[in-house]
Amino acid sequence: MSKLKAIEWVSSKVRIIDQTMLPREEVYLELSDYRDMASAIKEMRIRGAPAIGIAAAYGMALGAQGIEAKSKEDFLVKLRSISETLAATRPTAVNLFWALERMNRVAETGNDVAEIKAALLAEAKRIDAENEEADRKLSSYGAELIKDGFTILTHCNAGALATAGYGTALGVIKAAKRRGKNIHVFAAETRPRLQGARLTAWELKQEDIPFTLITDTMTGHFLSRGKIDCVIVGADRIVANGDVANKIGTYNIAILAMENGVPFYVAAPNSTIDLSLSSGEEIPIEERSPEEVTYFGGVPIAPEGVQVANPAFDITPHRYISAIITEQGVIREPYVESLKKVMK
Ligand code: MRU
């Protein structure tokens, strides 16, 4: 199992690895204020759907510690404002809202302020531990889909950095490797934030898994040349009909995979599944700053003042998805039914 912990509660503070600094430097930040946690999520120092959920939960625990309140009612009003600050960080990954909802529910059922503060920290730790357990299970199911000798294409980073410490799409890959399968990974660099080049490549190197780094625009080429046996990606939100929001560029890969007869798998825990939305069109897509597109490594690469679009995610319609790998097993179409069963 990977020892890497992207986020951890350490003596009344939250310790995160600053993912904006990787792979150049391994910098750890110690956060003791929920506002700093909100900024860290917004600035993508901590990122990846499951890790964002855990960060929000610990952010609530941090915020709760600092509340001075005479009554439970007063405490809950202040906690609500902390929850709103954390909810306003990133809109697409449903794990954020799922975790905040759990934390708010725990707060409401407590008797007094001291008891609620303790319960909130316990719940955040539980969310962290449950996420890791879920990833371990889904990775084990997913590893069954990987045959010896497979070359797997992945996009963005869905590894230990993006989760409680094991990974979803990369968790499946790691589990297959640990079962002795001879595998090779193609990691797409993932413009504009380069999670593939900076983070997935860094994790694969640490895990000693052989890989080839490619730019996003090369995926069609390698899929059409028969170089890829399957695609595995993570998810930020999976809705009732099986449509999936994931890192921008995922949709292109899914179409190219189908066109070339290559299976396209999505690996995600239940905390990423949102049955309240019926189709992908309803998922809010985060629009990030134009500078992520106009600058590369701090250097301007476009004329000043150009109009830019920067959606951070896209929607892959369910018809392109061969299977969704969850902690309850590998599910397939019709997703409306199989997802309902998983969420029971
Ligand atoms: O913008 P990011 O880096 O937070 O986006 C991350 C992704 O799109 C991941 O693929 C997804 O969250 C799954 S992580 C297990």
Average pLDDT for consecutive 10-residue bins of the chain (344 residues)?
82 97 97 98 98 98 96 97 98 98 96 96 98 98 98 98 97 98 98 98 97 98 98 98 98 98 98 98 98 96 97 98 98 98 95
Centre of ligand 1 to C-alpha 272, Å, is 11
Please state, in angstroms and rounded to a whole number, the distance separating the CA atoms of residues 160 and 205: 13
Whole-number Å distance, alpha carbon 118 to ligand 1 midpoint, is: 30
Q: What global pTM score does this model have?
A: 0.97
The H or E element spanning position 160 is none
- CB of 158 closer than 6 angstroms to any ligand 1 atom: yes
The DSSP code for 199 is I
Asked if the peptide bond before residue 192 counts as cis, ω within 30 degrees of 0, the response is yes
Q: What long-range pairs does 39-45 form, CB within 8 A, spacing at least 24? A: 40/16, 41/86, 41/89, 41/90, 41/96, 42/89, 42/90, 44/19, 44/20, 44/193, 45/16, 45/18, 45/19, 45/20
234 lines ligand 1 (CB under 6 A): yes
Q: What's the gap in Å between 266 CA and the centre of ligand 1?
A: 12
The verdict on the CB of residue 49 being under 6 Å from ligand 1 is yes
Compute the distance between CA of residue 343 and CA of residue 168 in angstroms, rounded to an integer: 18
Query: Nearest Cα to 206, choosing from 169, 160, 164, 247?
Result: 160
What's the token pair of residue 93?
A: 């990954």
Of ligand 1's atoms, which has the minimum distance to the CA of residue 234? 13
Give pLDDT, residue 1: 40
State the pLDDT at residue 2: 45
Q: What is the pLDDT of residue 3?
A: 74
Atom of ligand 1 nearest to the CA of 155: 10
Ligand 1 pocket member 237 (CB < 6 A)? no
Q: Which atom of ligand 1 is nearest to the CA of 312?
A: 1
Domains of the chain: 7-135 (1.20.120.420), 137-343 (3.40.50.10470)
